[in-house]
Structure 1
Amino acid sequence: MFLKNTHADYRSALDPRDAETLGADAAAEVERHLSFRDNHAQTPLVALPGLAKQHGVAAIHVKDEGHRLGLGSFKALGGAYAVIRLVLEEAGERLGCTVDIAKLRAPEVMAVARTMTFACATDGNHGRSVAQGAELVGARAAIFVHAGVSAERVAAIARFGADMIRVDGTYDDSVREAARVAWEKGWTIVSDTSWPGYERIPGLVMQGYTALVREALRELPAPPTHVFVQSGVGGIAAAVAGHLVLEFGAARPVFTVVDPARAACLFETARAGHPVRIAHGAPTVMAMLECYEPSLVAWRILSRTADAFMTVDEEDAIAAMKQLASPVAGDAAVVAGESGGVGLAGLMRAIADPAVKADLGIDAQSRILLINTEGATDPGRYEEIVGLSPAVVAARSRKGEPA
């Protein structure tokens, strides 16, 4: 399914709060924070000229977040960053002075952190980031996971010392339970989705994501003309789209939000013209995108900045994973998890449909930017789907060597 953005706010200016959250100054501060992380390194921007030629476009680049901060997902940029910011702010209030990131490990700051507990709900990746951030500062983390989160993903979070709490139902059920328990116990909820009265912390999470956009824009030989970004509650899509609007203004690239057909909360919100909660149906292979209600802040941004919304099916996501693992001759392989290649799935589906291709203005001069939002965060599941282990694909990822 495909639809163009017809919302009344389309192409209007960002809300001032969102412009401040996602602007150049805020993004530069995120990168400064990252410079204090011991395991920080810029993630690769992978050019796929063979695939671009195959699809009749000028260029396809993939920002590969499967290498981010040892967590294998773009979410590493959000939750941990928000935790660190919140600790610094709390320390500043208690100590009566501004506390800079450079003093994060000062004894008096660590003493404050030890009194704090950070909670969140997760499909896997966001929880890892929050737990890692809490471990980094010496705080406690309580991570709520729903019934569909695999044991392997739970173990990957628990290794950071987090308390793991299982919740019956869906991701959205775990979000509500995490908020309820955190309120009762006085914990700080660090969610990547937002609801009425709860916007600032999800805004910090989204702010963390701007680092990947700045890195990509510095490396691209020319600005992109088209961007396809996958969506769960909408945080990564809104962060990228919002930052691109602030960077390029009216000359911004055409931006398409890609949803799983089985969990298309942004698509249905765009169709309705207002945030909607969709019914829970069959699970999707795109596990990190299985969300049934959008973030209010993300929708506020995307209603203004997204040009189109589309859905992809299960087989589309699997085809994209396999395409990236076994690329066109001459291209590098990319290890993309079940949700990681969904932007590419959207691109391939759009190009295959002449009407959609024309609506998006994709032609021989188009320069496409995609984000691999996760690597093989569940290696067993990855090998089951792709037929190759992530290690084999990674070992053969040098340009020109077929996977």
Structure 2
Amino acid sequence: MFLLNNHPEYRQPLDPADAETLGVAAANKVERFLSFRENHAETPLVALPRLAAEIGVSAIHVKDEAYRLGLGSFKALGGAYAVIRLLLEEAGESLGRAVDVSELYSAEVRPVACSMTFACATDGNHGRSVAQGAQLVGAKAAIFVHAGVSKERVAAIARFGAEIIGVDGSYDDSVRESSRVAEANGWTVVSDTSWPGYERIPGLVMQGYVALVRESLRQMPEPPTHVFIQSGVGGIAAAVAGHLAVELGARRPTFTVVDPARAACIVETARAGRPVTIAHGEPTVMAMLECNTPSLLAWRILARAADAFMTVDEDDAISAMRQLADPVADDPAIVAGESGGVGLAGLLKAASDPEMRAALRIDGHSRIFLVNTEGATDPGKYEEIVGASPAAIATKTRM
């Protein structure tokens, strides 16, 4: 499925609150917070010139989030950042003054952290970030996982000392259960999706993601003309689209949101012109994107800042993983998990379809920006799909 944005608010300025959440000042704050993380480093921006020539575009750059903060996905930027922000705010209320991130491990802040429990639902990656953030500050974490989350991903969350709470059903069921249990226990929900009356914290999560856009704009020789970003509930797509809209204004790139065909809640929302919940059907290999209800906050931004919406099939996602692992000629290899290469899957599908290519105005001058949103967060599944271990592909990259 491929749709151009025909929403009445398309190309309108972002809501002022959203522009503030995803703007330059917010990005500066995120980068300052990151400077206090011991293992923080900018992730690489990888150029794929041979693939670009093969599909007839000027450049392809992939922001490789497989290296982010030791967690293997872009989610490392969001959940932990929100946890830290919320702890400092709680400490400020307790102490009766503003508390700076430089005081995060102070004797005054630690007792506040010990009194807090942060909860969330997850497909895997967001829960790791919230659990890591809680461990960093000395708080507790309760992570709700649905039946489709692999044992490897659950174990990766548990390594940070989080309480794991299993939920029968889908991701959306785990979102509802986390909210219910957290309210009953006085815990703080740090969700990466929003619903009526709950937007500020998901906004903080999205704000954390802006760091990868800021880094990419510094790393690229020229701003991109086209962006393809995968979408679950819409958070990463909205964060990238929103920041580019604020930062570049009328020069912003053509932005395409890419959904799994089996979990296309953002595409169906775009088609309906309003947020819709889709039926939970057959599972998708793109496990981190298997969401059935869009984030209201993300949709409000994408309705204005996205240009097109499309779906990719299971084979498209698998092909993109393999393409990145075994690249054209001397392009560098990239380890991308099942959801990591979905933006590339969208690009390859659009570039090979004359109608989509024309609608998006992709040509020999186009400069494409993609995000590898996750590395091999389930190494066994990765090797099963790609036919080689993540370590073997990483070794090939270094050769």
Please name the residue that 2:306 is paired with.
306
Please name the residue that 1:100 is paired with.
100
How far 1:251 moved relative to its partner? 1.1
- Give a deviation string over 1:280-326, Cα, whole Å, max 9, x none: 11000000000000000000000000000000000000000000000
- What TM-score, normalized by structure 1, do the two folds share? 0.99
CA distance in structure 2 between the partners assigned to 1:107 and 1:164 by the alignment: 29
Q: Superposition pairs for residues 4-403 of structure 1, below 5 Å?
A: 4-398=4-398
Residue type of the alignment partner of 2:363:
D
- Give a deviation string over 1:107-134, Cα, whole Å, max 9, x none: 1101100000000000000000000000
CA distance in structure 1 between the partners assigned to 2:28 and 2:325 by the alignment: 33
- RMSD over aligned CA atoms reads 0.5
Match of 1:141, SS? strand
CA distance in structure 2 between the partners assigned to 1:97 and 1:292 by the alignment: 41
CA distance in structure 2 between the partners assigned to 1:13 and 1:39 by the alignment: 36
How far 1:5 moved relative to its partner? 0.1
How far 1:250 moved relative to its partner? 1.1
CA distance in structure 2 between the partners assigned to 1:344 and 1:152 by the alignment: 25
CA distance in structure 1 between the partners assigned to 2:45 and 2:128 by the alignment: 23
Match of 2:37, SS? coil
CA distance in structure 2 between the partners assigned to 1:47 and 1:281 by the alignment: 36
* Consecutive unaligned residues in structure 1, runs of 5 or more: none
How far 1:209 moved relative to its partner? 0.1
CA distance in structure 2 between the partners assigned to 1:388 and 1:53 by the alignment: 26
Match of 2:161, SS? coil
Match of 1:233, SS? coil
Runs of 4 or more above 6 Å deviation:
none
Match of 1:126, SS? helix
Residue type of the alignment partner of 1:117:
T
CA distance in structure 2 between the partners assigned to 1:27 and 1:248 by the alignment: 14
- Give a deviation string over 1:130-151, Cα, whole Å, max 9, x none: 0000000000000000000011
CA distance in structure 1 between the partners assigned to 2:338 and 2:22 by the alignment: 27
CA distance in structure 2 between the partners assigned to 1:100 and 1:33 by the alignment: 10
CA distance in structure 2 between the partners assigned to 1:118 and 1:350 by the alignment: 40
- What TM-score, normalized by structure 2, do the two folds share? 1.00
How far 1:247 moved relative to its partner? 0.6
- Give a deviation string over 1:32-69, Cα, whole Å, max 9, x none: 00000001010000000000000110000000000000
* Consecutive unaligned residues in structure 2, runs of 5 or more: none
CA distance in structure 2 between the partners assigned to 1:247 and 1:322 by the alignment: 33
- Give a deviation string over 1:166-209, Cα, whole Å, max 9, x none: 00000000000000000111100000000000000000000000
Residue type of the alignment partner of 1:253:
P
Residue type of the alignment partner of 1:382:
Y
How far 1:370 moved relative to its partner? 0.1
CA distance in structure 2 between the partners assigned to 1:16 and 1:331 by the alignment: 41
How far 1:329 moved relative to its partner? 1.0
Residue type of the alignment partner of 2:84:
I
CA distance in structure 2 between the partners assigned to 1:361 and 1:330 by the alignment: 28
Match of 2:109, SS? helix
Match of 1:294, SS? coil
How far 1:351 moved relative to its partner? 0.6
Match of 2:40, SS? coil
How far 1:330 moved relative to its partner? 1.2
CA distance in structure 1 between the partners assigned to 2:3 and 2:277 by the alignment: 18
- Give a deviation string over 1:344-383, Cα, whole Å, max 9, x none: 0000000111000000000000000000000000000000
Match of 2:191, SS? coil
- Give a deviation string over 1:207-227, Cα, whole Å, max 9, x none: 000000000000100110000
